[in-house]
Homo-oligomer: A and B are copies of this chain.
């Protein structure tokens, strides 16, 4: 595809996994609902095709990880936060429920170890096999929004 001024390529709208999570978390019933409740370490295992995109990641730093929560329901608009039936029903866009129209997970993770296409991270609440969509620098309120 060539780029010229005024060209407006239209990206297809399917998400394509660039890797998968390897985690001891295997089902939603046993997964903690928030990272601070104690999520385990996990490995991010990337596809060889995206190796060049990974080359500037460094162990010891934090990044934002975007995943596709493929065991979610997409027809849910109102939930009870953390599944607590004592809490009032809340619009999903005010919650971090995995059930939502586009089930994209957003996780701040610490990179512990990088071994080519495998990256070990701390505190990731994502089930084993969850597709990885993207990695981004953390948002820094002072320098970018």
Contacts and interface: CB of A to CB of B under 8 A. Distances in A.
Interface of A: 1, 3, 5-6, 8-16, 18, 27, 29, 34-36, 50, 52-57, 63-64, 66, 68-75, 77-78, 90-96, 100-104, 106-109, 123, 131, 133-137, 139, 141, 143-145
Given A29-B5, A96-B137, A144-B36, A11 B103 contact: yes
B137 A95 contact: yes
25 contacts: A5-B29, A9-B71, A11-B68, A11-B70, A11-B71, A11-B74, A11-B103, A13-B15, A13-B16, A13-B70, A13-B131, A14-B14, A34-B145, A35-B145, A50-B93, A52-B78, A55-B78, A56-B90, A57-B91, A57-B93, A63-B93, A64-B106, A100-B134, A104-B104, A104-B134
